[in-house]
A and B are shown apart, each in its own frame.
Chain A
């Protein structure tokens, strides 16, 4: 499981960095072109699609890091006997939602096959929207990878790792650099 986690983490980190850097580059290049008097026709459509991709791939990485926003207060304060059913119910909803969404996302791709982007006619819409089924599958997989540790925490009543801790850990990483 650890090996799979590392591979997933590495892959998602590379994709997310590429998308973040790509977004910044595209936006700046577009400003330069516009200032020079020739606007890029494809810029807003491509940048918006990159943001959608960043949403899904980043959400998968956030699932792996357990960084999605939530309110774990009541869950954390509950006894293990109550936590387990909460965990199972919550996970069933989480996984069910993304599997169903991914399935319908796939159906949409099949339906839209042949349609192209408005500004770049040689790019298929089904390619840009492929992020829905792929992203949903990755989010589900990343969530499942964290299941053993979440199950252990629920059973033993260990401290929870949540988005607040993730934000604090990120801030502390910044702190180390500033020191």
Chain B
């Protein structure tokens, strides 16, 4: 009852346009005062501060920074050229290039909005010039950019790991297979569109051209090797991997490609800091709420009452999927993770679900949430760049959302898909 009252109060505050982080903080502070008087606010200040000093979270600003440097150093252009030489011979080639480049870019940037900006700004005008409808161009760019949070490294996965106490590295590894399945699915649907609407072939396949573009982009390929190789090999933590990504991106942009635009980098740094702080303030106030919830054992009571209704893990997973899908339509992904994961975690533990498996389910739900209006930052960014209407794009995007939903179902009910590599290397 208390949880329901708190959620209701939270919903009211969010609906009257109080920022979500502040709404969480206000509700938690009121609950703490109600429980232990004004003196509890002493610990509120330190709890919020301590909530932001988690070492793993340092990876967030660093991945944001690495993505910003890559955006401005000509890496995306070279990746597109390589993907075009490799996949451009297929009917609807530019759509394939779009998915292929996003898949690679996702391995480095960790942010879907960064992907849309980097890839969409080059590929969407090119697709329009070749006769692709701009709604299709925006839809495929937007959906394939969501791969950024499925394929490692992934900022939502870092947040989930911190909120749930699970391993970032295992989450990263678990995202690889679902990410590849998602990319192949998106390519398949694009091909169906290409045949049906007679989209053109981009370029004839020439091995020499593939080699040339590969050589040009080779330095960019070193980035995921350094980041993921270092993290998966256990040489560096995810945070340190993010730090190395910054250095590698800077080195490639400044020394190798010599295209780094310092003025743009300055703007990107500030945007990255704001982006990080917005998420971190949510983490800080949710630490306050988390402390209250832990002390009052409310999530455990909620879990108990749900378990009394059903302890069937499949049914509970279906309920979780529904909850996150609905939340994804109205909440930013980071907010959904920070707010909901601590509350549902006791239920997940009670029915014996694997935390890494559940993390993948949450991440996939949020990837779909990035595509479903009204709150759909990736879709809206793609539409803004393509100058296309959000609802017209959504009509096309439904097919690609279908692919992501199919991957979600596979991951939910065939746990070996995300967990096979984790079991093989880490357990």
Q: Which residues of A contact B (CB under 8 A)?
A: 13, 16-17, 19-21, 23-24, 27-28, 30-31, 44, 47-49, 51-52, 54-59, 61-62, 65, 67-75, 86-87, 89-90, 93-94, 96-98, 100-101, 104-105, 107-108, 111, 129, 131-132, 163-164, 166-168, 170-175, 177-179
Contacts and interface: CB of A to CB of B under 8 A. Distances in A.
Contact of B384 (A61, A101, A104, A171): A171
Which 3 residue pairs of A and B lie closest in terms of their CB atoms, listed nearest first? A58-B277, A27-B243, A16-B273
Given A94-B22, A178-B118, A164 B375 contact: yes
B: interface residue count bin: 35 or more
B19 interface: yes
Contacts of B309: none
Interface string B120-136: 11100100000000000
Interface of B: 13-23, 25-26, 29, 41-42, 44-46, 48-49, 52-55, 57-58, 61-62, 65, 68, 71-72, 76-77, 113-114, 116-118, 120-122, 125, 236, 239-240, 242-244, 246-247, 261, 264, 266-278, 280-284, 330-332, 334-335, 374-375, 377, 380-381, 384-385
Contact of B58 (A27, A73, A89): A27
A16 B269 contact: yes
Contacts of B275: 167, 170
Contacts of B335: 69
Contacts of A49: 53
Given A168-B384, A177-B264, A69 B273 contact: no
A68 B273 contact: no
A131 B50 CA distance: 12
A57 B331 CA distance: 24
Contact of A97 (B29, B58, B114, B118): B29
A147 B268 CA distance: 26
A174 B15 contact: no
Contacts of A93: 13, 18, 22-23, 26
Contact of B17 (A23, A24, A71): A71
B54 A68 contact: no
A128 to B, nearest CB: 9
A59 B273 CA distance: 9
Contact of B42 (A52, A90, A108): A108
Contacts of A166: 274
Nearest to A43: B55
B273 A108 contact: no
A170 B42 contact: no
Given A68-B281, A163-B332, A175 B19 contact: no
A24 B42 contact: no
Nearest to A51: B58
A10 B15 CA distance: 32
B160 to A, nearest CB: 17
Contact of A174 (B17, B41, B114): B114
Contact of B49 (A23, A65, A70, A132): A132
B280 A68 contact: no
Contacts of B68: 174
B244 A70 contact: no
A52 B50 CA distance: 8
B18 A90 contact: yes
Contacts of B13: 90, 93
B43 to A, nearest CB: 9
Contacts of A56: 277
A31 B68 CA distance: 22
B54 A48 contact: yes
A89 B52 contact: no
A157 to B, nearest CB: 14
5 contacts: A28-B246, A69-B334, A173-B267, A174-B117, A178-B118
Nearest to B284: A55
Contact of A70 (B19, B29, B55, B122): B19
Interface centre among A27, A87, A108, A131 (most CB of B within 10 A): A27
